[in-house]
Amino acid sequence: MLLCYTVTIGRPHGARQLCNFIGRTMHLINSSLNHALRVPLAAEIHSRPFLQLDAPELITHLAVYSNDQPATGLSNMQAQHATLAALCTHFGVTGPSSEAKYFYYDFGRFRLKWECHTEFATFTFAEHPEAPVPLAQAFGSMPLEQLPQQWLAGLKGKLMVAAHVVLERAVEPADTYMQGLSRVFEGNTLVGSEVLQGGELWTDFTIQSDGFSRFIIRDAGMRSQQSGRLVQRVLEIETYRMFALLGLPYAMQAAPSLNAIENELATLAAAMVETDADKARGDDGASEQALLDRITRLAARIEKLSLDNSYRFSASKAYMGLVRARIEELREVRIEGIPTVGEFMDRRLTPAMSTCEAMASRQEAMAQRIANTNDLLRTRVGIVQELQNRQILQSMNERAAQQLRLQQAVEGLSVAAISYYVIGLFSYTGKAAKVMGLPVNPEILVGALVPFVAAGVWLGLRRMHHKLHAH
C-alpha cells in the first residue's frame, strides 16, 4: 500500500497499473501454480521450535522408543499419538491432528513440547517455579510429579532417555560452584564446560539412583532465547547418544556369526585348491558343484545378517553425526580440571561407534568376498561343463566319422553287388543270343562288360549320393 501511495503522487495512472499488477501477482502466488508440497516444506524448518525458557526452570525429558509392532497393529506414530492423546484427555485439552509431528501446549502447571521422530517420540515437560529451588532439592521437585502415574505406566514403548535438567542463574564462580556438585551427581566424575559464551553445563552422563540422568545449566549472562536453544541441544545430545549406542549390541552379536562365516569361507577356499588335484585325477566336477552349494548357503547367511544389522548400523552412524553437530554448536570452553562434553564423547562414545562402523565394514567386505568366491566357483563349474560339452561333441563327431566310413564301405559293397546282378543279366542275354544262333560268346561278353558295368554303377551311386546331400 505504501508503494502504491508513493507512486500515486507522481503518476496516478502508473500507480494503478502497478497495484493491479501486484494484485494479479498475489493471486497467482495463491493459485494452483503452487506445488502441493511448497507450503509444508517451507514450514518444515519451523516445525520444531525450542522452548522459551527463563531461569529458573525445571525440565523433565523423556524419549520413548517404539518400533512398529505387528502384535498391536500400530505404527510408531500412531502409538505415540495415542499416548499424547491420553495425556491431553486427562487434562481436558484438545490434542493435535493425527498427521502432526510436533505439539506444544501450556497446561498451566507445566508446559509440554512433544516431538515424534522415525523411531521414537520425545516428551519435554518444563516448569517455571515461583521462587528458585535449592539445587539439593531441585531434582526432587521436577514437573514429572504433575503427571498422572497411570499415564506414565501406560507409555506405549520403552524409555530410552529419562533426564532431568535444572536451569538456574549463576550467582557464584564456576570453581566455587563445582565443589558442591559431588552430592548432586552422587560422587560420579563430572563433565562440564562454559558454553555459548554465557552459560555453563554440568553433568556426568550417568543414570542416577532415581532412574534419571541429570544436567545442570547455569545462566551466566546468556542472551535472550539462548537458554531454550542450549537446553534443547543438551537434550538432543543425550537422546541421540543413546540411540546411537543401540547399534553396539548388534555389533557384539554379529561378531561371532561373522567369525563363523569367515572360518567357513577359509575352509571353502582351501577346498577349492584341493579340487585342482581332483581334476588332475580325472574328477568330473562333482566336488566343485558341492562347493558351489556350500558357498550359496554361506551367501544366504551373510545376507540375512546384513538385513538384520544394516539398518541399525546406518541409524547409529546418522545419530552419531547429529551428536557431533550438537556438540560443535555448544562452542565449549574448558573449565580447568573438568573434561568437556566433546572430550567425554571422544573417549566413551567414539570407540563404540568405531566398533559399529568396523563391524558394518567387515560385514560388507565379507559379503563381497563371498560374492567373489561364488563367481569364481561358478566360472570353474562353467568351464567344467564346457569341457564336458566339448567331449560330448567330439564323441558325436567320432561316431559320425565311423558312420561315414561304414556308409562308404556299404557303398563299396553295393557297387559290387549291383554290378554282379547287372552282369548276370548280360550273361543271360549272351546265352540267349548264342542259342538263337548269333555269333556271341557269353563268357567273353561278360568279361568285357565287367569294368564298364562296375564303373557305371559306381558313378550312378555317387551322383545319387551328391543329390541327396545337396537337398
What does the block give as the cell for 451? 569294368
Predicted confidence (pLDDT) per residue in 100-109, tens digit: 889 999 999 8
pLDDT classification of 218: cutoffs 50, 70, 90:
very high
**How far is residue 286 from each of residues 191, 275, 385, measured CA to CA in Å?**
65, 10, 11
The H or E element that residue 352 is part of is helix 341-435
CA–CA separation, 50 and 221 (whole Å): 19
117: DSSP letter: -
pLDDT classification of 259: cutoffs 50, 70, 90:
very high
What is the pTM (predicted TM-score) of this model? 0.76
**For residue 56, is the peptide bond before it cis, meaning its omega torsion is within 30 degrees of 0?**
yes
Q: What's the average model confidence in pLDDT over 133-156? A: 90
Q: What's the average model confidence in pLDDT over 124-153? A: 91
Predicted confidence (pLDDT) per residue in 18-58, tens digit: 556 555 545 555 667 788 788 777 777 776 788 889 989 99
Are 236 and 324 within 8 A, CB to CB? no
- In sequence order, the 6+-apart residues with CB closer than 8 A to the CB of 421 are none
Predicted confidence (pLDDT) per residue in 389-407, tens digit: 888 888 888 888 888 777 7
Q: What's the average model confidence in pLDDT over 376-396? A: 81
CA–CA separation, 201 and 219 (whole Å): 9
* Extended strands (E) in 136-208: 158-169, 191-195, 199-207
CA–CA separation, 359 and 191 (whole Å): 30
* pLDDT greater than 50 at residue 347: yes
What does the block give as the cell for 334? 574448558
Is pLDDT larger for residue 426 or for residue 124?
124
Comparing CA positions, the residue from 468, 387, 456, 453 lying closest to residue 422 is 453
CA–CA separation, 341 and 335 (whole Å): 11
Per-residue pLDDT at 15: 53
Provide the greatest CA pair distance for the chain. 162
Are 58 and 129 within 8 A, CB to CB? yes
Is pLDDT larger for residue 302 or for residue 419?
302
Are 334 and 340 within 8 A, CB to CB? yes
CA–CA separation, 138 and 166 (whole Å): 7
CA–CA separation, 302 and 319 (whole Å): 25
Cα within 13 Å of Cα(195), Cβ side: 25
Q: What's the average model confidence in pLDDT over 316-327? A: 96
**Helices (runs of H) and strands (runs of E) counted in the chain:** 12, 8
Beta pairing, strands 102-106 & 111-116: antiparallel
Q: What's the average model confidence in pLDDT over 343-349? A: 94
Q: How many CB atoms lie within 10 A of CB 376?
A: 13
Q: Which amino acid is at 94?
A: T
* pLDDT greater than 80 at residue 258: yes
Report the alpha-carbon angle 449-451-452, nearest 5: 65
* pLDDT greater than 70 at residue 10: no
Is pLDDT larger for residue 355 or for residue 386?
355
Comparing CA positions, the residue from 437, 414, 401, 237 lying closest to residue 323 is 237
pLDDT classification of 356: cutoffs 50, 70, 90:
very high
